[in-house]
């Protein structure tokens, strides 16, 4: 039997790849990406791909008790992986994160990866939803993000949607 990626992973677009032009979707200070439900998965890989960047928006993770972002709070993480050598190599460097936030520097065509284990969410208090926030810095910044959910609790013909 062939391995089928779609049966073992859920691939979710968190932030549409576009020039976000300094405008936050919710009209406040953050570009709100889709939230993913981690109840059926034990791991998430968030991949942020950047195009032309004129600013330095800050990225952070949030956890909540619902898709509607109930009782939302920051999710602690202390590292991410950066590939800042577009076109010359495909090498990711582990990079420390301070205060659960890192900047997407004003350098074009970088890629960033954040690995999240589900047990880092406050599941005891029903914080099962994960989301990426990117601060609006008022500049023209082209980027997008996907989330690959893995290590499912069960394998189905097609896994149920992780977003609502």
Please choose, from the candidates 78, 151, 155, 82, the residue with its C-alpha nearest in 3D space to the C-alpha of residue 120: 78
Domain boundaries, the chain: 10-152
Q: Tokens 């936030």, residue?
A: 101
Distance between CA atoms of residues 66 and 73, nearest Å: 12
Give the pairing type, strands 129-135 and 36-37.
antiparallel
Q: Look at residue 14 in the predicted model and tell me its pLDDT.
A: 85
What pTM was estimated for this model as a whole? 0.86
Whether the predicted pLDDT of 80 surpasses 90:
yes
Query: In the prediction, which pLDDT does 29 show?
Result: 47
Confidence of residue 2 (pLDDT cuts 50, 70, 90): low
Q: Are 23 and 162 in contact (CB under 8 A)?
A: no
Domain 10-152 has CATH 2.30.30: no
pLDDT digits 0-9 by tens, 19-52:
777 555 444 445 566 889 999 899 999 999 998 8
The pLDDT tens digits for 110-158 are 999 999 999 999 999 999 999 898 887 778 888 889 999 998 887 665 6
Residue 163, pLDDT above cutoff 70: no
């Amino acid at each position: 039997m062939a391995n089928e990626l779609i049966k073992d992973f859920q691939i979710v677009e968190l932030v549409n790849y576009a020039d976000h032009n300094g405008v936050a979707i919710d009209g406040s200070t953050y570009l709100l990406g889709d939230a993913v439900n981690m109840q059926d998965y034990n791991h998430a890989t968030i991949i942020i791909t950047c195009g032309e960047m004129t600013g330095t928006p800050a990225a952070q993770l949030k956890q909540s008790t619902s898709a509607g972002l109930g009782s939302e709070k920051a999710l602690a993480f202390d590292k991410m992986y950066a590939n800042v050598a577009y076109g010359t190599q495909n090498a990711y460097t582990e990079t420390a994160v301070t205060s659960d936030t890192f900047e997407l520097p004003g350098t074009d065509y970088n890629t960033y990866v954040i690995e999240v284990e589900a047990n880092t969410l406050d599941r005891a208090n029903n914080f099962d939803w994960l989301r990426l926030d990117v601060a609006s810095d008022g500049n023209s910044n082209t980027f997008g993000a996907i989330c690959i959910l893995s290590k499912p609790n069960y394998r189905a013909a097609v896994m149920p949607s992780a977003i609502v």
